[in-house]
Amino acid sequence: MFIQDAYNVKVTPRKLTQYAQKYQAMLQKQQAELAAEESLRENNRQLSSTVRQLEGSLQQLNKEHVDLAKELITRKMEMAQLSDRNDVLEQKVSDLTRMVDSQGKEVEEQYKGEIEDVLRKNMEILKKNEQLEDQLAYMESLLVETKMKYAESEIERGELSRKLSDMRKALGAM
């Protein structure tokens, strides 16, 4: 029956040409769709590859970001600790400076009287020293004078001894 129906259908050459054109158009459309589909598949493969690469890069960047964030937190904590330590040290320096300044004044006040006493005693010693030097010079001049007189007396004694001996000889010859 189906075959009989097929023989009963009359197709004119014009209809056949139209069917051929429609078939060609459908075939071209199907081939274009297949080419477009294949192009889309290739494009999809490339995009999938790019997505995988970007995901790998994203994971690497996320890891680096986490590492940098940890490093930043560590550095900030270190800076905070160093800042606190610096504040403590600055306070200590300030306290020590005040203490040194106040002690310096106290020591100056404490020893001011002693220094004045030492200076006064030093002046007295210098005066005594000058007096002793004057006395020493006077004594040296007396010593020189005494030695001169002694030398003169020795010379006189020598002459007198010689005269005495000459007189003894003269008396003994008599």
Q: Which residues neighbour 27 within 8 Å (Cβ) at sequence distance 6 or greater?
A: none
Cα 23-29-33 angle, rounded to 5 deg:
140
Q: Which residues neighbour 19 within 8 Å (Cβ) at sequence distance 6 or greater?
A: 11
pLDDT tens-place string over residues 104-143:
777 777 788 888 888 999 999 999 999 999 999 999 999 9
Q: Where are the domains of the chain?
A: 13-172
pLDDT tens-place string over residues 44-73:
999 999 999 999 999 999 999 999 999 999
